Amino acid sequence: MPASNPFKTYAIEKLLRMFVHFPSRQGLSASVLRGLMSKAGRIFPVDQRLAFRQLHLAGMQCEEIRHKRDSATQLIIHIHGGAFFLGGLESHRGLMCDLMRATGAQVIHMDYPLAPEHPFPFALETLQAAYLEALEQGISAKNITLSGDSCGGNLALALCLKLRDEKLPLPNGLILLSPWLDLSLSGPSIKRNAKHDALLSEQALRDGVRYYLNDYASVDEPYVSPLFANLKGLPEMLIHVGSKEILLDDAKRLKDAADRADVACTLTIYSGMWHNFHMFSHWVDPAKRALKDIAKFVDRIDR
């Protein structure tokens, strides 16, 4: 008899606490945590029926994912999470497949340079160069949706701010999944949900801040903590977050900031979900619903 969804959810949370949350609180080095994350990424199913192509933008390795016989006109450029020092093409390939299947859009996954080897603003500047190179190759900005999870949501939003400030073409929409937007870690949910978030720990965030920032950057700079930026003129946003996340208040405060700036923004809080729950859509129903909501958003802004 198949396991009930509540049981599956409980089992996944237990496993995450054991193999992700606990190690992240032990002060392990970046290289050790990278190895653990690489192994953990293998549990996420990859749809081999899709077409995968390695490419480079601005010298950065990327992976294009699409249907083998499809000529999608919409493009999602995704920036992965990992507290600025973890993650890559392998860790998020399963999620990219799910995103591509849900939306029907072509997906390009950016393997940006990680800290501490490449501190701020190296990743942001490389991502901007890659985005502009995609435009130079003939991709229209109105056909691009920029997406990011966790710190990738930070980089996606910061990239939009930088493009706006430099009067460069903005993407058509912005998808932020469990975004980490405040590197000062001032959101009350970081403490309030510390015992509830099965995946992300405050220690992992503090390690990320320490690795990502150098002596010349402050946690309250808009490109570092885009939560503190003026959002005026940015494209429409979709924000997803779980009710158990330590970053719940980052998402809530971004919604408030978007409303103040008259930026169209939809925030959905998924009950009982932990950080980056979208990655578990093969086992957890709220994540399946979240992917459908993303598909509706991409379709609507395309129209």
135: left (phi over 0), alpha (psi -120 to 50) or beta: alpha
Are 131 and 159 in contact, with CB atoms under 8 Å apart? Answer: yes
150 is catalytic: yes
Residue of 147, 150, 201, 225 with catalytic role: 150
How far apart, in whole angstroms, are the C-alpha atoms of residue 101 and residue 65?
10
105 CA to centre of own chain: 17
Q: How far apart are the first and last CA of the chain?
A: 43
DSSP class of residue 178 equals S
| CB-neighbour burial class of residue 275 (10 A; exposed 0-12, middle 13-18, buried 19+) | buried
120: left (phi over 0), alpha (psi -120 to 50) or beta: beta
Report, in this order, helix, strand and coil percent for the chain, each rounded to 5: 45, 15, 40
Beta strands across the sheet bearing 173-177: 51-57, 60-66, 106-110, 75-79, 144-149, 173-177, 236-242, 265-270
Q: Mind telling me the catalytic residues?
A: 150
